[in-house]
Structure 1
Amino acid sequence: MSTKANQAFTAGVTLNNGVHMPWLGLGVYKSKEGQEVIGAVQTALQLGYRSIDTAAVYRNEEGVGQGLRQSGVPRDEIFVTTKVWNADQGYESTLQAFEASRKRLGLETIDLYLVHWAVSATYRETWKALVHLYNEGHVRAIGVSNFQISHLEHVIEDTGVVPAVNQVEYHPELSQKELLTYTREHGIQLEAWSPLMQGRLNQPELAQLAAKYGKSAAQIVLRWDIQHGVVTIPKSVTEHRIRENADIFDFELSAEDMALVDALNVNKRIGPDPDHVTF
């Protein structure tokens, strides 16, 4: 890997506790346990990626761990994220779920551990468990996923600990400007899941920008994420897509073109409403 490529993959943000997190990572949602996810992780790491995002509910943590080990990339160069699932939330059950994830991944320390959803009855106790894991040194950073401003306010009020990351659905049709502003003001790093809208990239504005910059519509959107200061984790299991998704560090969208993508926002969700978690 060239020095320039290496710098692109390792470029990132310093979280509110001083830990470095790459701007770009590989998401493995719906990547099948076994060779599919093992191969995707190996491919990404060999291409230069240094961040992998999984979750207990994806049921592929073992394969992710195997892919990490088989990649040949030193562990201390890789940023690994996983999440506690809704059914395992609560203080003691979260601690147990963490141990199970750590065992499946084959890792002593997790780089980032997230509360997957703000389950109304349990998320505040779950956050306290994550604070404990952080204080004990089992995780390098802790955060949340799919949290609204009210959820963030509750866990900060309860513990005095500000989440390092909030991973949410974020893309041109759901740009969550109020939440992005809040997280910036409070030192919480926003991270985008489903950044490519599950492939719904046929808007003429994206096609126009893709032609202008000599990039794909997907690359335009991922670049838009990063220029808004949002970490992004596109999912793929094919080498050419994994490679293409990473080729976003050699150009910059103008302010006018950023605004053009911003204007695509229609507050349209792909996933559930975080205020009404019923699963």
Structure 2
Amino acid sequence: MTIPTVKLNNGVEIPQLGFGVFQVPDDETTAAVTAALQAGYRSIDTAAVYGNEAGVGRALAASGLPREELFVTTKVWNTDQGYDATLRAFDASLAKLGLDHVDLYLIHWPTPARDLYPESWRALERLARDGRIRAAGVSNFQPAHLKRLLESSELTPAVNQIELHPGLQQAELRAFHAEHGIATEAWSPLAQGAVLDDPEITAIASRTGRSPAQVVLRWHLQLGNIVIPKSVTPARIRQNLDVFDFELTDEEMASIAATDRGLRTGPDPDEFN
């Protein structure tokens, strides 16, 4: 299976569909990532705060896959923001992953009350210059946070990873990304299951002979989003990848667009610190 890629603003290509390990305990992460790699995933998304970078690293090492076939993302946590602290946190993440570089490194939250994300961004710019990360990005940034970086930095974030699903479609933020060449990556792409019983989505699933989760993932892909569904169930892991042999019609895409209701499953980025 060939998973489509999205070309980032620095020319690096990221698989459009990857595997997330949010809330997966470290002692279960190795098995989950191994199942994902065996199913055909090549992009793995973790974070320092998840506490499972070591589990990811064990699975990557045991896979036997060439490093150049893998795309690994991790993130600096809020309490490690600041220039020097971010560099130290990156070193710690790299050691746990057992890698000599990561493909994408993100500032996990803007944490505006701390007001350290511009300093953390300078650290990511250095890591990019030094070749220790192939791409630098952010997560959960709002337009105001992004504008501040764009006005004060040489490097434009390659990615903004945000909560995004049919219940929270973030049209304004996605438009800002498109205007500035920032790729949109969706975390909680299924709203932790909260959108899977939506009548519009279940109706499309019934018509297409697909699961509601497959319909939602297909919606993301057709919008151009990068998406990182998470599961620890091997059958579900495989099912989430089986979304490249059907398409939603314009009418079906429009019907899903109409389900937006401002549903957040996670914190508000303007308030979370």
Are positions 1:168 and 2:180 aligned together?
no
Instruction: Give the deviation of 1:119 after TM superposition.
Output: 1.5
Instruction: Give the deviation of 1:214 after TM superposition.
Output: 0.9
**d(CA) in 1 for partners of 2:267 and 2:111?**
12
Are positions 1:56 and 2:48 aligned together?
yes
Are positions 1:253 and 2:248 aligned together?
yes
Are positions 1:105 and 2:106 aligned together?
no
Which of 234, 239, 257 does residue 244 from structure 1 map onto?
Answer: 239
Which of 204, 227, 251 does residue 232 from structure 1 map onto?
Answer: 227
**d(CA) in 2 for partners of 1:203 and 1:173?**
9
Instruction: Give the deviation of 1:20 after TM superposition.
Output: 0.6
Are positions 1:268 and 2:260 aligned together?
no
Matches within 5 A, 1:1-279: 5=1, 7=2, 9=3, 11-34=4-27, 36-120=28-112, 121-200=115-194, 201-278=196-273
Instruction: Give the deviation of 1:186 after TM superposition.
Output: 0.8
Q: CA RMSD in A?
A: 0.7
**d(CA) in 1 for partners of 2:18 and 2:110?**
23
Instruction: Give the deviation of 1:257 after TM superposition.
Output: 0.4
User: How many residues align structurally?
Assistant: 270
Letter of the 2:154 counterpart: G
Q: Which runs of 4+ in 1 moved over 2 A?
A: none
**d(CA) in 1 for partners of 2:152 and 2:62?**
41
**d(CA) in 1 for partners of 2:235 and 2:178?**
33
Q: Give me the TM-score of the superposition, normalised by structure 1.
A: 0.96
Q: Give me the TM-score of the superposition, normalised by structure 2.
A: 0.98
**d(CA) in 2 for partners of 1:47 and 1:203?**
28
Give the secondary structure class of the aligned counterpart of 2:26: coil
Structure 2 unpaired stretches of 5+: none
**d(CA) in 2 for partners of 1:97 and 1:155?**
21
Structure 1 unpaired stretches of 5+: none
**d(CA) in 2 for partners of 1:119 and 1:135?**
25
Instruction: Give the deviation of 1:244 after TM superposition.
Output: 0.5
Letter of the 2:242 counterpart: D
Instruction: Give the deviation of 1:160 after TM superposition.
Output: 2.4
Letter of the 2:258 counterpart: A
**d(CA) in 1 for partners of 2:15 and 2:261?**
28
Give the secondary structure class of the aligned counterpart of 1:270: coil
